[in-house]
């Protein structure tokens, strides 16, 4: 029986914060291999991620963790969290990076934090970075995503992010 992942204020999205869009990336193990839990912990720490709410990793706003995650990183293997009590024996096929918009920073800034973090974890774990459709993430796709997010930010300019309304 899967335990419910622990709730934590670290990385928790503010209550009543609407999610209008999710942007995701994947870092997957090469064919025939898996990522080991202990390697994941080291890589996540090197990449500046913090373990927190829902038993997953988050990138938080420096000095303002209460604003919620800029982006989060979950286990691709169900149930999606990282059980720290069993992390030494954990093996997973990959990681799911996702950011919920609107977030604590503009969408393009969040992307510019998430992409290099995914690439860094890919390097550290010898994995592959894939787009939301699980295709290789190339320059054209990155440029397209940046354009979409730039447009998203423009469409939300001047809007105050209201939590708890």
Tens-digit pLDDT profile for residues 125-144: 999 999 999 999 999 999 99
- pLDDT at residue 39 above 80? yes
Categorize the per-residue pLDDT at 30 as very low, low, confident or very high, splitting at 50, 70 and 90: very high
CATH superfamily to which 21-155 belongs: ZipA, C-terminal FtsZ-binding domain (3.30.1400.10)
| pLDDT at residue 160, as a whole number | 56
Helix 107-125 vs helix 139-155: angle between axes, to the nearest 10 degrees? 150
Domain boundaries of the chain, sorted by first residue: 21-155
Question: Closest Cα to residue 23, out of 122, 82, 108?
Answer: 108
d(CA 17, CA 40): 29
- pLDDT at residue 92 above 80? yes
When pLDDT is averaged across residues 44-71 and rounded to a whole number, the result is 94
- pLDDT at residue 102 above 70? yes
d(CA 108, CA 113): 9
Burial of 142 (0-12, 13-18, 19+ CB in 10 A): middle
| pLDDT at residue 5, as a whole number | 66
- pLDDT at residue 4 above 70? no
d(CA 104, CA 106): 7
């Amino acid at each position: 029986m899967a335990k419910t992942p622990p709730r934590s204020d670290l990385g928790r999205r503010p209550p009543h914060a609407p999610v209008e869009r999710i942007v995701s990336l994947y870092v997957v193990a090469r064919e025939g291999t898996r990522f080991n839990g202990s390697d994941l912990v080291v890589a996540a720490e090197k990449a500046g991620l913090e373990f927190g709410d829902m038993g997953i990793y988050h990138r938080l706003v420096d000095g303002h963790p209460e604003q919620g995650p800029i982006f989060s990183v979950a286990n691709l293997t169900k149930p999606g969290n990282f059980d720290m009590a069993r992390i030494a024996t954990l093996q997973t096929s990959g990681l799911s990076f996702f950011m919920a918009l609107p977030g604590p920073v503009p969408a393009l800034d969040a992307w510019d934090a998430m992409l290099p973090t995914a690439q860094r974890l890919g390097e550290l774990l010898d994995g592959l970075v894939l787009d939301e459709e699980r295709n290789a993430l190339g320059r054209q796709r990155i440029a397209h995503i940046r354009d979409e997010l730039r447009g998203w930010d423009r469409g939300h300019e001047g809007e105050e992010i209201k939590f708890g309304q």
